[in-house]
Each structure stands twice: as structure tokens, then as C-alpha cells.
Amino acid sequence: MNTAPAPRIAIIGAGPGGLTCARILQRHNIDVTVYDGEAGPDARNQGGTLDLREDNGQIALREAGLLEEFLRLSRPEGQEMRQMDPSGSILFHHIPEEGERFKPEIDRGHLRDLLLDSLQPDTVRWGHALRSVDGPDEGPRRLHFADGATIEADLVVGADGAWSKVRRAISPATPQYSGVSFLEAWFHDVENRHPDIAELVGQGGAAATDGERGLFAQRNSGDHIRVYIIQRVPADWITESGPTIQDTDAIRAILLDRYRDWSPRLRQLLADNDGLYADRPIYALPVPHTWEHTPTITLLGDAAHLMPPLGVGVNLAMLDACELALAIAKNSTIDDAIRAYEKTMLPRANEMQQFLEHGAEELLSTELPDFATDEGN
């Protein structure tokens, strides 16, 4: 992009979407700064494993020049999937073929490190929690941070997730609770400490549901397994039940009662976890979510189209990031770039939002999911 002076581009959020956008911009010799509220890259655990798919996430990594490194780090064996009923009987079992690379798994932390290490030094400014964005539509925009600092930018990219502060500047939409909640449980050193669970889950994922409650277990690298306990409950169900999230024994007793008719083998996923549970109620943005075009702000990923966690979130965020960066590189003005990007992104996101509008409920369906019949998997 050849403009003078060069536009000041500020990406808010150092997740996969924000970092992918920054990486591709830098490959096109476009200056960019990423601001993130965390104190540093190791401030918290980045979460579990995810798959990156050939038709979106891997496209972005190819444009970023990182696809081969991703494939080296990824776990193609993580594409294994088992679907069970509450008795523990296997209804469907997918074992990936040799060389299958449609959606290999990678830990979120490893993906983030891959992206961070690819950026120029000091691209990410840690400890910059955004408070608000103001300024005229035509720019420059002013970014106000929690520490009192203020900067100006000609383009603000909201890659700051479900509760985006950037989104507030262009949209009144707020995420709404889906009615379904996850409770996360961790298992460490599983081959030695939890061999039955390791065998149950295999190298990829294992899921079971009875229509009202479900379990989804995922193998992570480093001999870890994460289990997501899925329930149709109020968002504050733990508080309503009496305990706090720190009261592991009390929560465990509630879960064992709720899953009392499930097989003892599956109930291990509820009760033998190492450490505290993590409460993760599922929210989504209204469908469809759009906004009036502005020449100085746009959104990507969950900030633009938060959906239930059905394997598309990070993939779409990275595809958004790729398309936005390429639009900036190919257009003569930021305004033209945003128009070109949103012309493609918004219809795609709205279509997927509509498809997944009741996706949280689908997580509890007793019907075999698409992976049981999808030849691409």
C-alpha cells in the first residue's frame, strides 16, 4: 500500500486473529501496532486445543508464511473423534488416515507463540487494556487505555473478542447468554495418573450426550486432557446451587448427582480432575450482527460475530484477519480496504451466524454430529 503519510494502524487484541492480521500486514511492509491488556505473553494459560482447517485457518497461515511450521507443530492424530452414548458405547469412531491434514489440532498457546515469534520486535504492546474509542468517523480515532494513556490511529481493528471495547464504538450489540454452559475440568500426566481416561479419549476427542447434558473431552499436547461438561442451566447456576467456583468438592457432588445415570467410566471425566473447575457460560452475538460502515474502525473474529464454540471461531477470525490485511495491502485507501473486506466478511459471518444460531443447543443433541457423515473429515 503506497500512501503518504503511512496510516497508523492499531489492532486491539493479541489473539490469533489480531496477530495473524499483524503478521500479514508486516509481510507487505505495512506498519502496525497490536495492543493487548495482558501483562505479557505468559500472563495466563491460553486455553485448550483447536483445529485449523484447510478452507479457512490454514489459508490464513499460508498467507502469513507459517503453514509449514504450523504443520510441523500440529497434531494430525488429534483429528481422531469418538461419539458415545451415556452408557459409554461408541456410536461413531473416526481415525484419521495417514497424511490427513484437513483439520489437525494445535494447542492455543503453541499457535499464539508461532504467531508472536513471527512478528517484528515490539509489535505487541502489552499491558494496554483498552477502555474506550472516540474521535470522528473520518479519523483520527483516539484510543483511551486503562492506565491513562491515549493514542491516535487512522484505523482501529477490533480483534478483542466477545466483550470487545472497540465494537462499542460502531455497534450497540452485546453478547447474549445461549442457555448452555460449559464447565471445564483438567487432567494432567494422563498416561500415568489417569490411564483409563487417556484410553477413553484416545488421541483426539470424545463426546457423549443425553439431550440435556453432555461431555466433551479433548487431548492436548504435553499429556493433558481437558473436559467440557455441557449443561442447559442458568448462567449463574453455580451460585444458585450454593457453592462458589473454588468449592470443587461441592460442585463435584452436584455433577455426580446430575450425571448419576451415566456409566462410571464417563463419570470419571466429572470427578477425577486435577484442580479447580472453570466456569464458561456460552454467549453469542445477535443474529445477524452488522454495523454501519465507518472508514476508521472495523472488527474481526468474535468481536464481529461471536458464535457458539463449534469449531469455527478461531478459523473464521484468522480468515477475517487474512482478508483484512490483504485488502489494506491491495487498496489505495483505508476506507476502500475496509469496504472491500466487509463486503466479503459480513455476508459470510451472517450466514454462519444463522447456521449456528441454535448451535449451543446442538451441543446437547443426541443425533450424530456432522463429523460422523462428513467425508471431508
pTM here?
A: 0.91
* 375: pLDDT strictly greater than 60: no
DSSP code for 55: T
* 1: pLDDT strictly greater than 50: no
- Pair type for strands 9-12 and 33-35: parallel
User: How does the average pLDDT of the chain come out, rounded?
Assistant: 91
Same fold, 9-78+103-174+285-358 and 177-284: no
CA atoms within 13 A on the CB side of 84: 22
Q: Name the pLDDT band for 356 (thresholds 50, 70, 90).
A: confident
Express each pLDDT in 38-68 by its tens digit: 988 877 666 778 889 999 999 999 999 999 9
* Geometric angle at alpha carbon 293, from 291 and 296, rounded to 5°: 115
* 312: pLDDT strictly greater than 90: no
Work out the average pLDDT over 116-138: 97
> Which has the minimum average pLDDT: 190-194, 250-254, 356-360?
356-360
* 100: pLDDT strictly greater than 90: no
User: What is the spatial distance between Cα 301 and Cα 317, in angstroms, rounded to a whole number?
Assistant: 4
pLDDT score of 97: 84
DSSP code for 76: G
Express each pLDDT in 216-248 by its tens digit: 999 998 899 999 999 999 999 999 999 999 999
For residue 201, give the 3-state DSSP assignment. helix
CATH 3.30.9.30 for the 177-284 domain, yes or no: yes
pLDDT score of 377: 30
pLDDT score of 154: 98
* 116: pLDDT strictly greater than 90: yes
Q: How far is CA 254 from CA 82, 243, 270, 280, 286, in A?
A: 26, 10, 10, 17, 32
Higher pLDDT among residues 332 and 370, named by residue = 332
DSSP code for 222: T
* 376: pLDDT strictly greater than 50: no
Q: CB–CB of 303/166 below 8 Å? A: yes
Work out the average pLDDT over 296-304: 97
DSSP state string for 296-327: TEEE-THHHH---SSS-HHHHHHHHHHHHHHH
Residue for grid cell 463435584? 252
What is the number of helices (H) and of strands (E) in the chain? Answer: 13, 17
Q: CB–CB of 341/158 below 8 Å? A: no
Residue 233 has phi, psi (to 5 degrees) of -145, 165
* The length of the chain, given as a count of residues: 377
pLDDT score of 361: 73
DSSP state string for 255-303: HHHHTTTS-HHHHHHHHS-SS--EEEEEEE--SS------TTEEE-THH
* 212: pLDDT strictly greater than 60: yes
- Pair type for strands 224-232 and 176-187: antiparallel
Q: Name the pLDDT band for 372 (thresholds 50, 70, 90).
A: very low
Higher pLDDT among residues 126 and 311, named by residue = 126
DSSP state string for 89-130: -EEEEE-PPTT--SS-EEEHHHHHHHHHHHSPTT-EETT--E
User: What is the spatial distance between Cα 193 and Cα 187, in angstroms, rounded to a whole number?
Assistant: 9
User: What is the spatial distance between Cα 120 and Cα 24, in angstroms, rounded to a whole number?
Assistant: 11
Domain boundaries along the sequence of the chain? 9-78+103-174+285-358, 177-284
Q: Name the pLDDT band for 368 (thresholds 50, 70, 90).
A: low
Q: Name the pLDDT band for 338 (thresholds 50, 70, 90).
A: very high
Residue 347 has phi, psi (to 5 degrees) of -60, -40
Work out the average pLDDT over 314-331: 97
Question: Domain 9-78+103-174+285-358 adopts which CATH fold?
Answer: FAD/NAD(P)-binding domain (3.50.50)
Express each pLDDT in 243-273 by its tens digit: 999 999 999 999 999 999 999 999 999 988 9
